[in-house]
Structures are given as structure tokens and as C-alpha cells.
Structure 1
């Protein structure tokens, strides 16, 4: 899967792509951009793409178990799909947050004082779906 972490204005995410128990890539850039928004998805690539489309009003066909963090206009939102409906939940920018298969490890790292980048490093030590190149993006808050 992957691990995506946010803390103190920084989103960090790994580059590992797996298929079953096989590592396919360790340098994949999981950030996707569309219409001024940046998307960071955890789950199957096709389902992540469906969630991105649903964010813009497109229909999802079938089930979708992915989760996606959306950075748009300085706000961070988690989106997912349950019971045939797209849901959105704001992510509070004043506290750490993580999604993906290494979430538990990332939160433990946060509890120990880790940055978002360090939380991904720690998740990669224990979660087989997390690893490879770690990238970061700084969240710029909109002017008030």
C-alpha cells in the first residue's frame, strides 16, 4: 500500500508500489495533481484514480477501498468511499495525521517526536508496503 504522513506543514510519502508480495517500484511519485489540487493516495492505483475523479463529481463504479489526502487551497481533506457515497473529512493542520498501511508505525513515530519525513522512515522499517524514496511537500496556508 503506502504511508502518507502530515505534520507541521509538511506532507511526506513513500515511493513503494507493490503487487501482492512483490515490490514493483521504490521510486514512484504518488502525488497527482489535477485542477489546482494535489492528491496523495493509499491503496490500489485504479481506486485512487477513481477517488480523484469522484472529488470532481465523476461516478465511482463498484467498490473503492482507497483513501486519498487532498491538498487544495491550503486545506487538507481526507476522502474515501463507503456504502456508495463519497465522503470528505477535514484534516486539522495543527496535529499530525497519517494514512496507509504504515499508519500505526507513523503515529508511534509522531508520539516519539518524529517529523512527517521521519515518520515515513520509521513506518518503512516495519511495514512491507512502505519504502523506497521519500518525498515531501510543504503545505502553504492561504492568505487570510
Structure 2
């Protein structure tokens, strides 16, 4: 599935870049951040359901989908989101949070003082469905989020943060 971690104090979201289906790796270089009309969506789950979520974002009318997501609105507020009864529900976040198959690993890492980057790195070590490049999306640089190219198996990090840097 994936690991997407939000570190509240630093206003940073980090993601892995692995996409897999069943027992097969589909891509090592998937961007988990997508622009919608009123902000950005970071989604975890079945690829077809994520596409359905993005396609019907404006209408707020959805088939039965089980993907979860983080949403950052154009004002910069961060929300946990899910689809219930065919509608989008958003819960404002005021603490560290993570979604995806590696979420528990990432939340535990942040509970022990790690950054979102380190949390996703750790989740990638423990979760069989998370991997690839860890990408960092800094809250104050939202304009760059969907423009930076992704290269498979690289150590590229969006917004020029480097692994091990202490930016908290």
C-alpha cells in the first residue's frame, strides 16, 4: 500500500514512492501528492479507488471506496480524510498522523521523536508494502509539491531536504 506521515510541529508530510499490486511492484517512483481544485491530496489505498477519489473530488459523490487520505487545503490546514456513505469527511489534524500500511510504524517513530522523513524511512524497513524514495513536502513550499520530477531508486527529496538533516 504505502506510508504517508504528517509531522504536525514541522508542518511536513513525507511519503514513500512504491506502488504495488498484490505480489507485484508496479513502480518505484510514484508521486503520492496530487493537486485538486482546493488543495492537495495525499492518498493511500487501491490505485483505482484513489483515481475515483480524485476524479470525483469536486462533486463529493463517491462509489464505495476505502482509500484514506491527507488533505492540505489552499490555506494550509491539514486534514485526515476518508469516504463514508459516499461522501468525503475531513477531520482537522492537530497532532502527528500517518496513513497507509506502514502507518503504525510511522506513528510510533514520530511518538519517539523522529521526523516525518525518519518515520517513513522506518516504516519502509518494517512494512512490506512501503518503499522506494522518501519524499518530503514542506508546508511552506506548497507551490513546488507537484513539479519536482521523481527518479526511481534515487535519494531525491522534494524541496531539497536531505536525509538525516535536522529540520524540525
TM over 0.5: yes
RMSD: 1.7
Q: Partner of 1:104 in structure 2? A: 104
5+ residue gaps, structure 1, are: none
5+ residue gaps, structure 2, are: 142-168
TM-score (norm 2): 0.76
Matches within 5 A, 1:69-80: 69-72=70-73, 73-80=75-82
Displacement of 1:126 in angstroms is: 0.8
Q: Partner of 1:68 in structure 2? A: 69
**Structure 1 residues 77, 55: closer, same or farther in 2, change over 3 A?**
farther
TM-score (norm 1): 0.88
Q: Partner of 2:12 in structure 1? A: 10
Which structure has greater strand proportion? Answer: 1
Q: Distance in 2 between matches of 1:127 and 1:26?
A: 15
- Answering whether residue 149 of structure 2 is matched by residue 136 of structure 1, we say no
Q: Distance in 2 between matches of 1:4 and 1:102?
A: 8
Q: Deviations over 1:56-99 (max 9, x none)?
A: 224212x200011111121111221123332111111xx21111
Q: Partner of 2:21 in structure 1? A: 19
SS at 1:140 equivalent: helix
SS at 1:55 equivalent: coil
SS at 2:140 equivalent: coil
How many residues are aligned here? 138
Q: Partner of 2:52 in structure 1? A: 50
Q: Assess if the C-alpha contact under 8 Å between 1:79 and 1:86 holds in 2.
A: yes
Q: Deviations over 1:87-140 (max 9, x none)?
A: 111111xx2111111011001111221100000000000101111011111113
